[in-house]
Structure 1
Amino acid sequence: MGNNAILFWSIIVALGLSGLSLVAMGLFSLRNVSYGKVRPVTVVLVVAPMLLLSVLGFTMQTWAEAGVLTVVIMFIVSLLGLLGSGVRSLFL
């Protein structure tokens, strides 16, 4: 480690805080779903990119490729959603 000890521990602390915040967000979202404040579909839509990234990250060669493919897939899904919403509004 040498001269970079402070940098190393700063990165560890930042990653730990990020992990704790993700766990807290997950717990509070489950709590809100159980209280009926949030629809489960909303939680699924928020979790979908993270789940897709996790699956692609463990199945592809690098996490960078998995991240790029996740962005492309989510972009296509959002375009299809906008297209479907527009077509649906034409007939209603």
Structure 2
Amino acid sequence: MVATPQDGSLPLLELHERARYRAAADYALRRYPGPVGELIHRELSAYAEFGHRFARDALIPQLAQDVLTPPHRDAPGDAPAGDGEASRRTAA
């Protein structure tokens, strides 16, 4: 956990951090259509609205980072096993 001030309150998220969580929430709806995207959207939106920072290695910051990281794309020519001419000839 992040060290808290003497009064026991959690540190507030800065405006750019809140904007980042809201952006991740909105993008989750497009990247993960259906109930999964809706769940991610709700969690990230609630975290941004709550406005208090927990540990940077907590689940919500990791989730936002994962949503905002572009999906890995295979390099050209790196077809998954089973694709290509050999599998088409075998199936025929």
Alignment TM-score, normalising by the size of structure 1: 0.28
TM-score by length of 2: 0.28
Compare CA radii of gyration and give the structure with the larger one.
Answer: 2
Larger RCO, structures 1/2 (Cα 8 Å, 6+ apart)? 2
Higher helix share: 1
